[in-house]
Structure 1
Amino acid sequence: MSVLFLIIIGAAAGFIATRMMKVEADLITTIVIGIAGALLGGLILRVLLVMTGMAAGFVGAILGAALLIWAYQTYIQRK
């Protein structure tokens, strides 16, 4: 992502965020708030996705183990 694109997106995000929070700030402060917020939000989102991915893997492992136990009890332990 280019620096210019980051500045434009940061300025827009900062403008929206400052208006939502009812903060009056100059253009430079708004841009800095937007860029810093984008970086912080991106970091938090990545951490949440990694944690969710690990949790999903854990749930998948449990379901896989339950399926194998069912198959073992149904087809092998029948004797």
Structure 2
Amino acid sequence: MHIVWLIIVGAAAGFLATRMMRMETGILPTIAIGIGGALIGGLVLRFLLTMTGLLAGLVGAVLGALLLIWVWQTFMR
């Protein structure tokens, strides 16, 4: 069940992050960006701020996805 939740949160976070960064991607890259952001942001946010719950996971996932998009755009051009 945890993996299904990660995919759902990742898809939502990837969608929000790609729209905030004005990046046009397909469905699979958007989900991959969101899942990567969820892993990065969710873990870092939970360790640093010791926040728990669904909202903290979504906020961390969006922040992580934004960071991942920024790194991608900065170093892949």
**TM-score bucket of the superposed structures, by smaller chain:** 0.5 to 0.7
* Number of corresponding residues: 50
Using the size of structure 2 for normalisation, the TM-score is 0.57
Using the size of structure 1 for normalisation, the TM-score is 0.56
Question: Aligned equivalents of 1:4 and 1:32: distance in 2?
Answer: 13
Report which of the two structures shows the higher radius of gyration computed on alpha carbons. 1
Letter in 2 for 1:40: I
Percent identity over the alignment is: 62
Q: Alpha carbon RMSD of aligned pairs, Å?
A: 1.5
Question: Aligned equivalents of 2:5 and 2:40: distance in 1?
Answer: 17
Relative contact order: is structure 1 or structure 2 higher (C-alpha 8 Å, sep ≥ 6)?
Answer: 2
List structure 1 segments (4+ residues) > 3 angstroms apart after TM superposition: none
Hey, what does 2:40 align to over in structure 1? 40
Unaligned 5+ segments in structure 1 are: 51-79
